[in-house]
Chain A
């Protein structure tokens, strides 16, 4: 069995950012395990621009953004194994991976950061009625085929779900000669960013049907027709609102799910984000095992993924230097009215850095609200928001000294103005 002090599973943006941060903090014995034959993860296929505005103060494409990190990993001489597929990990931090070059390898780690990203919800997950023809793809699959392999998956396309990848693919496929007939979104508001509605749909006169979803897919071998209909507040189809589209492809952009398979056998708790329950250091219930990036909760921007991965790296280095106590005053962080989720869920204030980050999303769109972060009944922070939507994650940093250790519950909640 080989041994490394810090093993990072997943060499995408989060994994590379965590490795670089840990290295800068003095931890030199790092191994990154990456299942693909390249570093950078999903950003390789995200060839559009808009990455790095926070991180680098300039607008980069996905490959440009990730190459800045992979360059640094190489320059620092941080070890990584490509084509290394991690099969399992244990509570005792023994990781088993397989690769053509190395065979079956067991690695004992002192600390682990899981940065395995997320995967797309697919056709099976949303139970679309009708036939089962060829031509139903997730948006990310179509993106991989087009941007990395040069194949257009269809000529006449309908898109279900207004997530950003679906919107980006509407533009990409249009530019490559496909006709995108429309986008249907189940909710009465878009799941994607406003800028993508403008530059990916409106620029090409692609209609967006809010409160609509696919009622039926028809096609003997290949997709021939997609039928959509409007839904009411209870998500039931409204009879007589059906619309038919003759098309050969249905793209699905219906959500992303943290890829937590490696945590399944550890018996740890998961939160509403479908990622692990973590403390202020992005550390799971098992001391020394951390989780960051889209495997913890799905982010809007890679810039935020990178900053969260660094928080996990700081935590891991603290743990490795045995300065984390895992004791003292602990808070449970709860989502109150109007809040979808909050990360972290646990705050061990005596272990915390000078600033504690709270990341959260609202459960539905609101206008003219105040978001309160309270310790017991005492308000720690008020945030005034003229408008807020679930597709925008909020980050708040609170100084350590405002926590009074009086009440063990911190609540984030929405207060509507009367």
Chain B
């Protein structure tokens, strides 16, 4: 039996998972997915910023479009340092494809027009 705190939302459910990966203590179905992932291949959404060539802003906030394998997060951050984005850039624009060979894209989370 393992005890986990679900990180999907601010509610922070206290989950219990038995050896056969049966989950209890979850308020919503996302808790089950979280607990199974956490005990087999933990994933995290990455948020950070990259350089932007803009007259308005110095940094463009970005996120991973999907959660990344937890052990790949630092590799992904390193790739972000290599990027300098041109404007205009809009929410959802792909900044890095297949970051750290994870199959996940890094996308912009802010509109910067110039």
Contacts and interface: CB of A to CB of B under 8 A. Distances in A.
Contacts of B73: 175
A194 B11 CA distance: 8
Given A67-B91, A67-B111, A50 B51 contact: no
A63 B10 contact: no
A195 B4 CA distance: 10
A61 B47 contact: yes
Contacts, number: 77
B58 A47 contact: no
A199 B47 CA distance: 12
Contacts of A50: 9-10
B25 to A, nearest CB: 11
Contact of B91 (A49, A64, A146): A64
A195 B111 CA distance: 28
B49 A63 contact: no
Contacts of A195: 5-10, 12
B36 interface: no
A146 B77 CA distance: 14
B59 interface: yes
A354 interface: no
Interface stretch (A147-155, A241-249, A312-320): A147-155
Given A47-B109, A61-B61, A198 B70 contact: no
Contacts of A148: 57-59
Interface string A45-87: 0011110010000011101100100000000000000000000
Contact of B58 (A53, A150, A203): A150
Nearest to B7: A195
Interface of B: 4-10, 12, 14, 44-49, 51, 57-59, 61, 63, 70, 73-74, 77, 91, 109-111
